């Protein structure tokens, strides 16, 4: 079950003028996470952003949480082709989403 869904419809250079916006919500910018944390009373420091792109990892780290790279989808290619250029390492690299779930549960259990 989801408490919310947050989407950035903007894209610099989009043909629809109203969407051609340099917004604050396109990852790795933090606008969507900031809004979700406000509306859902979430602590970004205890949150995880999971994705197969480095921009997902950057977003998680930018809000003070964890950025997890999953190697499915684009993830393995992102790591192999671009990993050496990343300014910050992912908090965790997981083979599958099941591995992500195990990691997150372990991390949350660590906090008590």
Write down the least CB distance from residue 105 to Zn ion, Å. 31
| CB of 3 vs Zn ion, minimal distance in Å | 20
Q: Does 11 bind Zn ion (CB under 5 A)?
A: no
Does residue 23 belong to the site contacting Zn ion (CB under 5 A)? yes
Decide if 59 contacts 28 (C-beta within 8 A).
yes
Q: Name the one range near Zn ion by CB under 5 A: 4-12, 67-75, 84-92, 102-110.
A: 4-12
Does 26 participate in binding Zn ion (rule CB under 5 A)? yes
The residues, ordered by sequence, that sit 6+ positions from 97 with a Cβ below 8 Å of its Cβ are 50, 70, 72
First to last CA, the chain: 23
Location of structure tokens 């780290």: 61
Which residues does residue 93 pair with via DSSP β-bridges, in sequence order?
Answer: 69
Closest to Zn ion by CB, 26 vs 76, is 26
């Amino acid at each position: 079950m989801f408490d919310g869904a947050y989407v950035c419809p903007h894209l610099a250079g989009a043909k629809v003028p109203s969407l051609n916006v340099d917004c604050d919500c396109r990852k790795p910018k933090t606008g969507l996470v900031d809004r979700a944390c406000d509306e859902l009373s979430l602590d970004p420091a205890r949150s995880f952003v999971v994705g197969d792109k480095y921009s997902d990892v950057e977003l998680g780290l930018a809000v003070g949480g964890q950025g997890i790279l999953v190697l499915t989808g684009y993830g393995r290619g992102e790591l192999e082709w671009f990993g050496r250029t990343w300014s910050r390492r992912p908090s965790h690299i997981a083979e599958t989403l099941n591995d992500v779930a195990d990691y997150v549960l372990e991390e949350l259990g660590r906090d008590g």
